[in-house]
Structure 1
Amino acid sequence: MNGYRRRHGLLAGALVIGLTASACANGDDSAQSGKVADTSGKAPTGVTLTLWHNTADPTALLDLYKAYEKKSGNTIDLVDIPADSFPSTVQTKWATGARPDILEWHGNQVDVLSLNAAKNMIDLSALPFVKKEGTLADVSGNVGGKVYAATVGSLSVDGIFYNKQVFTKAGLQPPQTYAELAADCKTLKARTPGVTPIFEAGGSQWPPQILSAFDYLAESNTDQAYDRSILDGKAQLNDPNGPFVAGLKAYDSLRKAGCFNSDANTAKWEDSFKAVLSGKAAMVANNSDSIGLLNSDANNDTAKVDAAVGFVGLSATKAVTNYAPSPLGTYYVPSTGDSKKERAAVDFIDYITGAGYADYIKEAKIIPTLSGTATPQLQGLLQDVKTAYDKGATLSVNSPLPGFSSFGAEAQKLLAGQETPQQVADKMQTYYTQAAAAAKQ
C-alpha cells in the first residue's frame, strides 16, 4: 500500500455564512479559469495528491482511495474536514486561497457557485462518466452546462428516520405529512413519556434546514416548479402566503408544541442518531448520508440498525421525498496551476468512475449513480430510502438557489425562538437577491 495517510488540522477558522460566488473568487483566479480536463498521454505516477474529504466518508470510499493508490502508484493525502462543520470549514479555507488537488464537495449548484467553479475548477464535461450520469450530470456540479464534478456516492435523500419499537409501542405509523407529524408528536408525548418525539440538532446548524423547509417544500418542487418561480421572479421566498413561509411556520409550531429535545439548540448531528437508534428519540429528520453514522453507532451491525430504524419520506401534504447530490462521493479537480498534479487528479476521476467503480458499488452496497452497473443487495434501511425515493422525489429547493448557504444559521435562530418564520423568510429573500446579483457579475 502506498503512503495512505490522513492529515489533520483543518478544524480551525470562523464560520463563514453566505459566501457568494464573487466573495470566493480570491487571488488571481482569472489565470486559471476555463481549464478543460487534460486526458492526453499517460497519467503521471509517484505524485502525492491532497484530497479534502468529509470525515463521514464510509469505509467503501476510503477503500476506493486505497484502490486508486494501488492502481496508479500515486499517493492520496487525506485532509480531514469534520462532518459536523463541513460546509463552513471548506468555505473558510477556500476563501483564504488554499486549494487541494481533489475536493470532495456538494453537487448542488448553490454550493458549486459558492466556490466559483467556473473560475476555480477544471471542466470535466468531456470525460466518459458524464454520459453515464445521465440527467444527474445536469444537476450535480453543473454550471452553465459544464460539468465540474463526478458523483459516485448515493443521492442524498431527505426524510424521517424513526425508531420502530417506539412507534409500535405508541400504536402509530410513521408520518408522511406535516399534519401527521404534528399529530404523532402529540400522541408520542402522551403514550411514550420520556421519549423525545423529534430530535433536533441545532448545535450542528445545518440539520434544522431539513425539517423547517426542505422536507416541507418537496411537493412544491415537482419538476423544480418552485425553484423556477423564484429564479424567474414570479414568486418570492418571503411571500407570507407562500410555501416557504408555511414550512417555517409548521416547524415553529412543532417547536412551540414541545416536540423537540430540551437541548435542541446545542445538540449535535451525531447525537441525533444515537438517540433514535437507542429509542431515546422517536424521530429525526435528516438525509440518507447518515446511514453510515447509524451503522457505526451499532458497531456496523446492520441487522441491528434495520431492526431498530426505518425511513419514510414526507412533505407538506404528500409522501414526497427530496434529494440532492451527496457531498460524500462527489469530487472536483480544483485548478491549481500544477499541470502534473491536475493531470493525476483527472486520472483519479477517471478511475473512480471507471475501473474502480463497480467494486466500490459492490462494497458500498448502494444504488449506482452511473448507468451500466448493477444494483447490489441493499441494506434494509437503504431499501426503505429507495422505496421512498421511488414513490416520488423532487430536487431539494436549495440546490439551484443562490444565498441558501445562509439558511443554516437562520434555521438555527428559528429553532432557538430568536426569529419568527417571517423574519427568517425576509432575510432569506435578501440573501437570495444579493447572491443572485453577485453571481451575475
Structure 2
Amino acid sequence: MTSISKNRRRRGALAAGALATVLAATAACSNSMGAAGSSGGGTADSSLFGGPAVTGVTLTVWHNTADPQALLDLYKAYEKESGNTIQLVDIPASTFPTTVQTKWATGARPDILEWHGNRTDLLSLNGSQTMVDLSSMSFVAKEGQLATLSGSLDGKTYAATIGMPTVFGLFYNKSVLAKAGLSVPKSYADLAADCTVLKAKDPGVIPLYEAGASGWPQQVLSSFDYVAQYNTGDSYASSILSGKTKLNDPNGPIVKGLEAYESLKAAGCFNSDATTGTWETSLKYVLSGKAAMVANGSDSVPMLDADADGDTATVDAAVGFTGVSATSSVAGYAPSPLGTYYVPKTGNTTKERAAIQFIEYVTGAGYGSYIQQAGTIPTLSGTATPKMQGLMQEIDTAYRNGATLTWNSQIPGSGNFGPESGKLLAGQETPQAVADKIEAYYTQASAAAGD
C-alpha cells in the first residue's frame, strides 16, 4: 500500500500526451464535493448521496498498476480538494483480473474499486449485491449509451467510466513492415501471408509476439480480433444469449478464430517462448522492431510511451495501429478497467459517502483537467476532445470506423477464455475442446446469474 499524499507516484505507465505539470485543483470544487448525487433518486440507499462533504478519511483504492499518470494526478487533485487521503493498493496489470477476484473471494473490500466494466466481470463479483447503485448520479446521463454497457446490470449503473474504452486490434512496427514491402494487414489471411514474408525476408524479427505468461493477451488474437466483424450491433453475443447459436458451434466464429490462431502458431509466426512471453516484453519488442506485430488493446499505449521514456513522437514514428478481423479491418472494444470506478458495499457509511463524493469529483470538477492531461477520448458528453498523440488518433479512427463490442462483454463465464486459450497456445487443448469448455462455463454461469 502506498499513500499518494505522502509519496507522489511516478509510474512507468505515462498517459498518452501527458502534460508536464501536475493536475491543478479546479475552482469551485468545494460545492461539488458535497453534492454527490443528482436529484433523481432511485438508488438503493439514498442516505449515501448528497449532504455535507466527508473530510479527513482515508479511502483505499484497488487500482491497476497500468494507471496512466493522468489518473494518478487525478487522485492527487482529489486529495487536495477533499482533505481525504487516497491509499492505493497496487494490483499488477499483468495479473489484474485474477488478483482482484482472488482478493475479493476472501471477503476483502476496498472503499473504491477500479475494475472492468464488462457485464461478465461485474457478475464475477456479484455486483448487484456487492456494489452501491450509482444510477441516480449526474454522470450517468453524460455517459449515455456507455452507462448501459459499462458497470451495468439489469438497467442499473454501478460504475463511473472516465477512461476511454479499450480498443482491440493490431499494433505494428511501421519500419519492419515497410522494409519487408508489406502493407498493413486487415484480415487473418493477411496476417498469415505477412508472417510467411517476414520469416523469409527478415528471420531475425518475430512476426507476431504472443504473451502467454501474462494470462490474458492471447485471447485478443484468438478471439477478440477475429470475432469483431461478426458482432456488429452486438449481434453475435445476442445470438448466444438468446440460444440461437452456441459458442462451440464447429463453424461458428469462436471455433474458427481459435483454429486461425492455432494455424498461425503452427506456421511459426509466434515467438519461440510464446507461452512464457509477457505483455510488457511484447510492447518493448514491437517498439524496437524485434517484433513486427502484436495483437492487444489501447491500454497498452501508456506502456509504449513509458518504454520510449515518455517521448510520444518516437512511439508515433515507430508504431501504428489498425483493426484486424477474420476477413476485414474491424476493431473490437470493451469498457476499460483503467478509470472505471465502483463503490463496494463495505458497511462503513461514512466511507461509502466519501467514495461516492470521489465519483462525483472525478466525473465533475476534476474531469476536464484529467481529459486534457490524459490526451484521450472523453467518455462524458460536453467535454472537449484534447489534442491526442498520433497513435491514439489512429486508435480513435479504428474505434469510430465501425468498431464492435467484444463478444465476451455480455457473456457470463467468458472470463475463463484467457486461461483456456492459453492451453491451446501450450498445445494442451484443441480449438474445439477450448470452445466446448467455454460453452460449458457459459451455461453454468448463465444459470447462476438467472439468465
Task: Name the TM-score class by shorter chain.
Answer: over 0.9
Match of 1:10 in 2: none
Q: 1:406 aligns with which of 384, 391, 416?
A: 416
2:75 counterpart residue number: 65
Q: Write the deviation string for residues 275-320 of structure 1: whole angstroms up to 9, x where unpaired.
A: 1011000000000000000000110000000000000001111111
Number of the residue aligned with 1:90: 100
Partner of 1:239: 249
TM-score (norm 1): 0.93
Matching residue of 2:199:
189
Distance 1:105 1:51 in 2: 11
Deviations 1:334-374 (Å, cap 9, x if unpaired)? 01010000000000000000000000000000000000000
Query: Are the equivalent residues in 2 in contact too, given 1:36–1:122 (CA < 8 A)?
Result: no
* CA distance in structure 2 between the partners assigned to 1:6 and 1:249 by the alignment: 47
1:3 aligns with one of 2, 5, 26: 5
1:178 partner letter: Y
Trace 1:28-427 onto structure 2 (pairs within 5 A).
34-35=44-45, 38-427=48-437
Secondary structure of 1:113's aligned partner: helix
Contact 1:203 1:266 in 2 (8 A): yes
Name the aligned partner's letter for residue 417 of structure 1.
Answer: G
Q: Can you list the C-alpha shifts for 1:92-126, whole angstroms capped at 9, x where unaligned?
A: 00000000000000000000100011100000001
User: TM-score, normalised on structure 2?
Assistant: 0.90
Query: Residues 36 and 124 of structure 1 are in contact (CA less than 8 Å); yes or no, is this contact kept in structure 2?
Result: no
Offset of residue 389 of structure 1: 1.4
Identity within the alignment, %: 65
| Cα distance change, pair 430–36 in 1 and its aligned pair in 2 (3 A) | farther
**What is the identity, as a one-letter code, of the residue corresponding to 1:193?**
P
Quote how far apart the aligned CAs of 1:155 are: 1.0
Q: Unaligned 5+ residue runs, structure 1?
A: 8-32
Query: Contact 2:5–2:76 at 8 Å: present in 1 too?
Result: no
Cα root mean square deviation, aligned: 1.5
SS in 2 for 1:189: helix
- The 8 Å contact of residues 151 and 330 in structure 1, kept in 2 or not, is answered as yes
SS in 2 for 1:378: coil
CA drift at 1:174: 1.4
1:115 and 1:392 mapped to 2: Cα distance?
31
**AA matched with 2:136:** A
Task: State the distance in 2 between where 1:303 and 1:294 align.
Answer: 11
Structure 2 gaps of 5+ residues are: 10-42
| Corresponding position of 1:18 | none
Aligned-partner Cα distance in 2 for 1:37–1:411? 45
1:3 CA displacement: 3.0
Task: Report the secondary structure of 1:240's partner residue.
Answer: coil
Deviating above 4 A after TM superposition, structure 1's stretches of 4 or more consecutive aligned residues are: 4-7, 33-37
AA matched with 1:394: T
Secondary structure of 1:200's counterpart equals coil
**1:155 corresponds to which letter in structure 2?**
P
In the alignment of these two chains, the number of paired residues is: 416
